[in-house]
């Protein structure tokens, strides 16, 4: 099978991650649809490392770059359609777009996704959520692709779903899903989305490059509260700073390196463990090599 996507060699990852840091990927591929992605994966050498990314909003790419191939899903797999009271969406669709798409057609249940700063693929992979909703609460079934380009349909019983965690059998990545919603007034859903976005703007440092929440919330508590209680708001290493607006966010003040951010993540973790006895679990995924 021939491929028709875009292949870039030795490509800087800065423009593909929301922190705007990171070294170069050996290869970056933007597929031209699902069939093209299948052909591309089938043609990769055996043992070639593969990483899938969407908006790069929950990702830190180290300064030494990424060996192997990065597959960019955003602006690649973007089909979205209605099937009764379900919405079928591919992995490259942004969560906010899915939420607004459903609301316009009088479907409720996906509004919370407007507050998730990523794509459907990322939301499926980590069971992203906010404001009381989680992605897999509304997923009826999903489609994955494996390392060899084979496509699989997965239901809830095929995956291990937890808080900010989804386990798949083998080396697979999400490429699409059906979201089961329910009928309601469009205006009600749209007003809820508007309120969620206003709250996000008021409480999160959206004016600076960030990757969303750094740590998962521990059971019965909030990571931001623990970090702030340690006096870490505004603490910085190099160009990376614990946001003064939201303590569970790290912002790039302009000249941060991935190493600055990774060292700040470790400092936040170690300080909370030392002062509160709570071991925070990182929500951000880290890939690549250090310089």
Could you give the residue numbers annotated as active site?
A: 164, 213, 283
Task: Please report where in the chains the tokens 């095929």 appear, as a residue.
Answer: 158
Determine the 3-state secondary structure of 39 from DSSP.
helix
Token duo for residue 188: 């009600």
Which of 256, 262, 266, 254 shows the shortest CA–CA distance to 286? Answer: 262
Which of 208, 195, 192 shows the shortest CA–CA distance to 246? Answer: 208
CA distances from 44 to 48, 67, 72 (A): 7, 14, 16
Token duo for residue 116: 């998730």
Token duo for residue 94: 């942004």
**119-134 b/e with 16+ CB inside 10 Å = b?**
bbbbbbbbbbbbeebb
Euclidean distance between the first and the last CA atom of the chain, given in angstroms as a whole number: 37
Determine the 3-state secondary structure of 57 from DSSP.
coil
φ/ψ of 190, rounded to 5, equals: -65, -35
Q: Vertex 138, ends 221 and 98: CA angle to 5°?
A: 100
Token duo for residue 192: 């809820």
Q: Tell me how far apart the alpha carbons of residues 58 and 73 are, in angstroms, rounded to a whole number.
A: 14
Token duo for residue 103: 């609301």
Q: Tell me how far apart the alpha carbons of residues 129 and 212 are, in angstroms, rounded to a whole number.
A: 12
Beta bridge partners of 80: 89
């Amino acid at each position: 099978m021939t491929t028709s996507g875009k292949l870039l060699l030795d490509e800087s990852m800065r423009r593909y991650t929301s922190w705007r840091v990171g070294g170069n990927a050996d290869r970056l591929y933007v597929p031209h649809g699902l069939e093209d992605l299948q052909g591309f994966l089938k043609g990769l050498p055996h043992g070639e490392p593969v990483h899938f990314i969407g908006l790069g909003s929950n990702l830190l790419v180290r300064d030494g770059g990424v060996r192997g191939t990065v597959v960019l899903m955003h602006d690649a797999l973007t089909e979205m359609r209605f099937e009764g009271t379900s919405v079928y969406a591919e992995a490259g669709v942004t969560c906010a777009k899915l939420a607004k798409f459903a609301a316009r057609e009088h479907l409720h249940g996906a509004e919370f996704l407007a507050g998730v700063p990523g794509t459907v693929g990322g939301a499926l992979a980590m069971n992203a959520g906010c404001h009381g909703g989680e992605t897999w609460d509304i997923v009826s079934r999903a489609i994955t692709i494996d390392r060899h380009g084979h496509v699989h349909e997965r239901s809830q019983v095929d995956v291990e779903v937890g808080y900010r965690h989804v386990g798949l059998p083998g080396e697979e990545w999400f490429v699409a899903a059906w979201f089961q919603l329910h009928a309601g007034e469009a205006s009600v859903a749209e007003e809820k989305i508007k309120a969620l976005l206003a709250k996000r703007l008021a409480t999160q440092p959206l004016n600076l490059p960030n990757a969303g929440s750094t740590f998962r919330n521990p059971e019965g508590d909030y990571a931001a509260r623990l970090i702030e209680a340690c006096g870490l708001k505004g603490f910085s290493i190099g160009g990376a700073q614990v946001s003064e607006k939201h303590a569970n966010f790290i912002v790039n003040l302009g000249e941060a390196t991935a190493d600055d951010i990774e060292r700040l993540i470790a400092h936040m973790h170690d300080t909370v463990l030392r002062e509160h006895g709570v071991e925070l679990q990182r929500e951000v995924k880290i890939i690549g090599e250090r310089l």
